[in-house]
Amino acid sequence: MKDDLKRFLDYILKQKNYSPNTAKNYEIDILEFNDYLNKEGINYLDIDYDFIKGYLMELYNRKLSRNSVARKLSSLRSFYKYLFNNDLIKQNPFRYVATPKKEKRLPKYLGVEDLETLFNTPDLNTPLGQRDRLILEVLYASGIRVSELVNVKISDIDFSKREIKVLGKGNKERIAEFGDYCLDAINMFIEDGRKKILNKHHINCDYLIVNEHGMKITTRGVEKIIDNIVKKAALKKHVSPHMLRHSFATHLLNEGCDILTVQELLGHESLETTQVYTHVSNERLRAVYLKCHPLNKRK
């Protein structure tokens, strides 16, 4: 399996444009399945539907959540689809395996006050402070994924239209919008901080966001930067890059943006993926209703 797995991971990274984190999760899930195969004495090319059912029972017996089982199943289905498409197996045994219905988890998001606190934390008198503020601005203003952010080149930005061309999941290109505050942050970093970083290391880089050495930043690098900003801001919560994307979607819906527009801005293939944000919006509507309706104020 080792060689086929290596080729599969290379395929999803380079041709499908999956993030390194996603590829790593796929690798973990597939290697875990391979351990089970070895324990059962079965070759990975010889499994059938009944064997898969036995593996799923093993996962449920370990008290894994439906979401975890669904993720592992998705990883294996993709791997075996790759094997089938490359004529390494005669049929994909995972093709007809039903995916467990996922447990709906409401996305965590930040309030406007917390966002303002974060935005005001980086020191704009320093090159890295300008970069850090820019990271926050772009993630929240456009709603793009962190894996998309790190791949944005300056040439992908249309400054007059305030648009960014991004390459999303499955190599699908879309246009992300941003506003004036984000434009100011982009211009400040490009004209000042970014130049200083690149000049210091005598290097050129096509990518918008660079690390302290003037090289293209990684998704993990962005995560660490946000962790440090949160610590400096003394926010008593964990903030991930994806939480800024959640905040983007939730705030748009709260302000009356229609869900189809939000779906397009997020780059979701399925409306069902976007609809999870309406639950958060509905919670807010319920709270406002209970607070404002005159009959609810009766004692």
Q: In this structure, are residues 88 and 44 in contact, taking their beta carbons and an 8 Å threshold?
A: no
Is 202 marked active-site? no
Is 66 marked active-site? no
Phi (first) and psi of residue 170, to 5 degrees: 70, 25
Partners of 207 in the beta sheet? 153
Catalytic residue among 71, 145, 194, 251, which?
145
Q: In this structure, are residues 222 and 149 in contact, taking their beta carbons and an 8 Å threshold?
A: yes
Q: How far apart, in whole angstroms, are the C-alpha atoms of residue 138 and residue 166? A: 12
Is 245 marked active-site? yes
| Amino acid (1-letter code) at residue 250 | T
Is 145 marked active-site? yes
Q: In this structure, are residues 128 and 184 in contact, taking their beta carbons and an 8 Å threshold?
A: no
Is 220 marked active-site? no
Catalytic residue among 18, 140, 207, 277, which?
277
Is 268 marked active-site? yes
Partners of 173 in the beta sheet? 167
Catalytic residue among 16, 81, 169, 216, which?
169
In this structure, how many other beta carbons lie within 10 angstroms of the beta carbon of residue 38? 12
Catalytic residue among 133, 245, 246, 251, which?
245
Write out the catalytic residue numbers. 145, 169, 242, 245, 268, 277
